[in-house]
Amino acid sequence: MRIPFTKMHGLGNDFVVLDARVQALPPINGEVAAALADRHTGIGCDQLVLIEPSDTADLKMRIFNRDGGEVEACGNATRAVGLLAGDAVTIETLGGTISARPDPAGIAVDMGVPRFDWDAIPLAYAMDTLSMPVGWDMLENPIAVNVGNPHAIFFVEDLDAVPLGEIGPVIEKDPIFPQAVNVNAAQILSRSAIRLRVWERGAGLTRACGTGACATAVGAMRRGLVEREVTVSLPGGDLLIAWGEDTADAKGRITMTGPATVSYTGSFDWGAYA
């Protein structure tokens, strides 16, 4: 059986997208996802994205990191799926239902409401998530935010001095984060600009992380470091993050806006990977 796929990226964070609405697919598990994601023997990607029918939204999105682990959310992948949808769309994910729509700057995604309670991150035990009393080498007192998946954000004076490739995997697997964590190192450039690098849970250093940009922006806003709309610059490019004001009727929702691109399309032999 040959399976069609679309290779896409959002600011260099790349995906293999399979659409099970077009053609029924055999069950996808972590082993198959990791094989397809392998850059030497597979198609190669940071995440495998599976689009399926949904009973509660316009479509369902499942996301597998390149190590085969299934994760709750991915902002860049959501923009990619929004681009394929071609119109405003609601998307069911493990992290909740979100929405995407075309925008002059690319695709705008409503990422929902951030969560800050320690057990919503989740952490192993109760503590202040605005300034966690923990540290690893030069990285200390992170903010913890869940934006569909868990993030720890460290604000530093010199981003280039942070050996994120060495510290990131240690923090990711620390027992204080029972579901592991995405590790963000950020430098405030101005009241409207942040520079960011991300060690992504299950994927490693990445050129862009949409949920990381959202979590970092919200964390900076909670600490009063930036305004409620900010440009987050990652190695792959820029994302615009806005966090709506809380009202009597609703908590503030995060909007992420940025590009998504189709690289190429193709097909593969299912039997080679299953």
| Tens digit of each residue's pLDDT (9 = 90 or more) over 9-31 | 999 999 999 999 977 899 999 99
Q: Model confidence over 37-89: pLDDT tens digits? A: 999 999 999 999 999 999 999 999 999 999 999 998 899 999 999 999 999 99
d(CA 222, CA 243): 10
The domain segmentation of the chain, as residue ranges, is 2-100+260-272, 118-252
The whole-number pLDDT of residue 248 equals 52
Active site residues: 74, 209
Q: Where are the alpha helices (DSSP H) in the chain?
A: 30-37, 75-85, 164-172, 210-222
Q: What is the mean pLDDT of residues 113-126?
A: 97
d(CA 255, CA 110): 5
In eight-state DSSP terms, residue 161 is G
Question: For tokens 């923990």, what's the residue?
Answer: 134
Q: Could you give the C-alpha distances from 22 to 19, 52, 86, 227, in angstroms and in order?
A: 6, 9, 15, 43
Helix residue spans in 89-228 (DSSP H): 164-172, 210-222
Average pLDDT over residues 110-137: 96
Is pLDDT of 247 > 60?
A: no
Residue 262's closest CA among 107, 98, 91? 107
pTM, two decimals, is 0.90
State how far the Cα of 11 lies from the Cα of 255, in Å rounded to an integer: 17
Strand 182-190 and strand 2-10: pairing? unpaired
pLDDT, tens only, 137-163? 999 999 999 999 999 999 999 999 999
How big is the CA angle at 94 (ends 93 and 100), to the nearest 5 degrees? 20
The residue assigned the tokens 């615009």 is 240
CATH architecture of 118-252: Roll (3.10)
| Identical fold, 2-100+260-272 and 118-252 | yes
* CATH number for the domain whose boundaries are 2-100+260-272: 3.10.310.10
Tokens of 38: 């392998």
Q: Provide the pLDDT for residue 268.
A: 95
Compute the mean pLDDT over every residue in the chain, rounded to the nearest whole number. Answer: 94
Tell me how far apart the alpha carbons of residues 205 and 135 are, in angstroms, rounded to a whole number: 20
Greater confidence (251 vs 123) lies with 123
The pLDDT tens digits for 172-207 are 999 999 999 999 999 999 999 999 999 999 899 999
Look at residue 23 in the predicted model and tell me its pLDDT: 78
- The band of 134, judged by pLDDT with boundaries at 50, 70 and 90, is very high
Q: What angle do CA 166, 167, 171 make, to 5 degrees?
A: 135
